Structure 1
Amino acid sequence: MKRRHLSDKAGDGRGRRSNPGLLAVAAQAKQARPVFIVGEARSGTSILYRTLQKHPSFRPRTVNLVETDIFAHLRRTFMFKPSYPESLVRFMLDDSAAYADFLRSIRLPRAVSAVSAGPNYLLRNHPADWLWYANLSHLVVRSYFSHATRARGCARLVEKTPTNSPHLKKLTRAFPRAQLLYIHRHPLDVFSSFRRRAAADPNAQWAQLTPAQFCHAFGSSTRRVLEWIGSGHPNLLLFGYEDFTRHPAETFERICAFLEEPFVEQAVEEHAPNPRRWRVDPHLWSGIVAETKSWTDYMTQAEARIIERRLRPEMAALAYEPRIAG
């Protein structure tokens, strides 16, 4: 049976544009099968993102590693304009016409957002589902990724925001046929990756975490994903960074099988590595390798012991052994 992709009706964005109404776009997008990489930060999500975009089913006009971080913007859609939010524009490959179509499609949600600006600010940390629907956020998300699929010119969309584990339910409600990917990594390697990024990029304030802050974020995200899987949701694949980097072809074949896509081994190969493309992380545009640094260069033994003690249950659930005795 042939699968329906979002592009089956909307086209790949290369032909004449159409601008159907919001409900029509949302209804069509509900049948789409996007893939969302939802975590974990500093755990190989960018390499996974790049690899999937080299697969014919997900290949955009040009490889683009932008994270939309769309959930951070949904309660202020009244502020959206042709150049804002920048991440949403860039994810559409800076296609101003496609983004303008998207803005026109969400005129009603933007009006609702303007009227509700005060309550939305006061309740900005409130997780209630009714706020999600009251702001018509489910329709905005569907419309955005529908237009983005056309702008990117791909048969099937893949997007990465590695802090999206709190939004598994919302992503699934917006796209009942969506599939989610979560790549995990030993917490000492993750924390040392944050430290290295903070040292290499002074503007990356988000990477300047204390061990306590890191443990809270890592533990919360891991528990959410494990609870999601434990609740019987079959739409999330959990796998390790260590498997992906040591056995890329075998692991990617497993990912393709989960996504019901043909395995394309060439996607894990990098025939033209360019480590100078991004100074902050030379490995991002290079081949997949298992070792990129030593965690001992970025933290003390005492810090490592604190992290492993606090994250002992999560490490056990992910089958990670402690590296520090005691």
Structure 2
Amino acid sequence: MTTHPTTHTPSRTPAPGPRGRGARRKPGKATGNRRTPGSYAVLAAIAVFVLAFLAPFAIILLNSFKTSADFRAHGSLSWPTEWNWSIIADVWERVGFTQKLLNSVQISLGVVLIAVLFALFNAYAIGIGRVRWRTAFLVFFLGVNVLPQEGLVYPIYYLFKEMGLYDGKLGYTILVGITYSAFGTYLLSSVFSSFPRELIEAASMDGAGRWTILWRIVLPMSWPTLSVMCVFFFVWSWNEFLYPLVLLISNDNQTVPLGLSVMQGQYTSDPTAMSAAALLGVVPMIVFFLIFQRSLTRGMTAGAVK
């Protein structure tokens, strides 16, 4: 009797679906892309803020190319009926904008150089060198930032008169640079206080001196913060008005904000010329930010990424 072996057919069970990153999500259940009423409210608030911020610039731009008759007839919010392209050249010539632009660039660059160098040296001594009376020095530099310009302008005026620095760009640049270095020292000291001590100790064991540690280790690692300081110091120095009003009286030494102020008289004013002057004053800052926006963004976000 012959027996035939029974063959068992294996049951086919469906293979488990893919799991992990390759898994396909069910349609209709998007995750992370759903807009909530709160997100729409935030977007609306940001849009309103941007429009409110850009509205003055748009008004200045419109009025910068109007004629005086057009402005008096239709107001400041109307579209120009006739574009007056010559007003920019007239204001440029009337103010002597070329010389004042060069003065502002020279003074602002000098202020940035002096302020950043002094702040770097002071913060290196306070934050990394751990000098004595560290807290007292920080309170002193903080107090310099708190003092108002109105309380310092007259003593500085008489001091400059005695030292022969009055109505000179060099003395004014040194004054503003040292003033800004107080804020830079206070800012950099807090950054340097958390500087990795292991790097400094390792460099010291390899024979590096204090100057080598400053220029080869501390400065490259602190460059994002220093770049932000450079941008802020340049903008602050560019927009200074009270100090140059008192200390720079010659037409050849005046800066852009001070030179553009002559467009406003005590009894008479030309709104279109003033708008053109304001446009000339703000365009260099816009160009400056467009050039250095990457450095500013990197410096402001450097602390968030290890």
TM-score, normalized by length of structure 2?
0.22
TM-score, normalized by length of structure 1?
0.21
Which of the pair is proportionally richer in helix? 2
Which of structures 1 and 2 has the larger relative contact order (alpha carbons within 8 angstroms, sep 6+)?
Answer: 2
Which of the pair is proportionally richer in strand? 1
